[in-house]
Amino acid sequence: YMAPDAMAAFKTATGVAGEVVVHATNEEIMGKLVASGGKGYDVVFVSSPFAEVLNKLGLTEPIDHAQVPNLANLYPEATKLPHDVGNAFSVPYTWGTTGLCYRSDLIKT
């Protein structure tokens, strides 16, 4: 998910315009990145296992932490990701929980 006004706010803050390209799945963007050698994309949003593979394939760049002051606002756990301890090449963008609901009148526990 990306807020509708995120790119406009980014341009206002940085002077850099960007284009958002939405892909349906991690596999889709992974295929495009591998096929292009990473060309055509500056930032991608993928889940942790895919970020790890992209890094192993040499398709990531180190993050200059001095250019991302909000890293200081991450939960400590977000800086110790198993695939990227210290956020060398990735930064968590979203985090959530999926709930499971059921009808107790139909399912006995």
pLDDT tens-digit map of 15-73? 999 888 889 999 999 999 999 999 989 899 999 999 999 999 999 999 999 999 999 99
What is the total count of domains within the chain? Answer: 1
Q: What is the structure's pLDDT at 26? A: 93
Is 80 part of any domain?
yes
30 within a domain of the structure (yes/no): yes
Is 90 within 8 Å of 83 (Cβ atoms)?
yes
Side chain identity at residue 98, one-letter code: T
At residue 97, the pLDDT reads: 83
Q: What is the pLDDT of residue 109?
A: 78
User: For residue 58, is it within any domain?
Assistant: yes
Residue 95 lies in a domain: no
At residue 55, the pLDDT reads 95
38 inside domain: yes
Whole domain around residue 26: which residue ranges? Answer: 6-85
Q: Residue 54: what pLDDT?
A: 95
| Domain annotation covers residue 94 | no
Return phi, psi of residue 16, to 5°.
-105, 125
- Assess contact for 84 and 49: CB atoms under 8 A: no
Say if 96 falls within a structural domain.
no
